[in-house]
Amino acid sequence: MTVNEMYQRLRAAGLSHAGAVGLLGNIKAESGFISYNLQQTYEKKLGMSDKEYTAAVDSGKYSKEKFTKDAAGYGLAQWTYKTRKANLYDFAKKKKASIGSADMQIEFLIEELKNSYKAVYNKLCKTDSIDEAARYVMLKFEKPANVSESAQKGRVKLALQVEPLCDPDFAPAFPEKPAEPEKPKEEKPKDKPKETKKLSKYKVIALAGVNIREKQDVNSKKVGAFNNGQIVEGEAVGSWLKTAKGYSVLKYFKKL
């Protein structure tokens, strides 16, 4: 699972761009985005590598009781406390997934934020500051032993390193602001009517939806968004899809 795919899932769950990036910066600090990561100091203590530990938990050779009580950080967020590891374990079994599955862990992370860390979730949905998001996740969600100012700056630095990996043209499944209605344009009389190009149908494949831009430029004004699965009519223009509403990045669509 790529960093951008994780970002997409977080955005689809309602997190703002800054909130998602700040959270991912912390995940990079905790596990380096390795979902089967076992806290390094415990590899020697338990006599198992990351993959051996994961396989033992999956097979039942390393029981739920041992997994939840060994105090070893594990996974993307390095879950450590016994109740949080127990919830992760139960969630994996419910989903019939490996305890080391990145897809399962991101889904669990979102559920954990919504249900057990509501203040953190709300902050990450509303903030427009990567600095604030990275610090807040560190202090209120990850809670590492070292929470010094220099350590907090380190998390912010990692978040800023992660940001370029997160595609800024993904949109939430719901537009942040409704698009303003287009003003009807006055048509000038034409001597000869031009042939109308037949538009093709495209389906949005980006999980978090895709933005609609005023021009063929990711930095141009955002005028709306298409949701995942939405069918739209348009014309491919280079790397862009031109629709009646504006322009969207073509790679996030599948031609039907």
Tokens of 157: 């630095």
Cβ proximity of 207 and 215 under 8 Å = no
Q: What is the pLDDT of residues 203-234, one digit of tens each?
A: 988 777 788 889 888 777 888 888 888 999 99
Nearest to 112 by CA among 154, 75, 160: 75
Cβ partners under 8 Å of residue 254, min gap 6: 202, 203, 205
Residue 100 has a pLDDT of 96
Confidence of residue 103 (pLDDT cuts 50, 70, 90): very high
β-pair partners for 213:
222, 247
Q: What is residue 138's DSSP assignment?
A: I
Please report, rounded to a whole number, the percentage of residues in the chain having pLDDT higher than 90: 69
pLDDT at residue 13, as a whole number: 94
Q: Kindly report which listed range (100-104, 114-118, 175-179) carries the lowest average pLDDT score.
A: 175-179
All structural domains of the chain: 3-165 (1.10.530.10), 200-255 (2.30.30.40)
Percent of the chain past pLDDT 70, that is, above it, reads 88
Tokens of 120: 């953190």
Q: What is the pLDDT of residues 113-143, one digit of tens each?
A: 999 999 999 999 999 999 999 999 999 999 9
Average pLDDT value over all residues in the chain: 88
Task: Indicate the SS3 state at residue 153.
Answer: helix
Q: Is the pLDDT of residue 178 over 50?
A: no
Q: For the stretch 219-245, what's the b/e string if a residue is b when 16 or more beta carbons lie within 10 angstroms of its beta carbon?
A: eeebbbbbbbeeebebeeeeebbbbeb
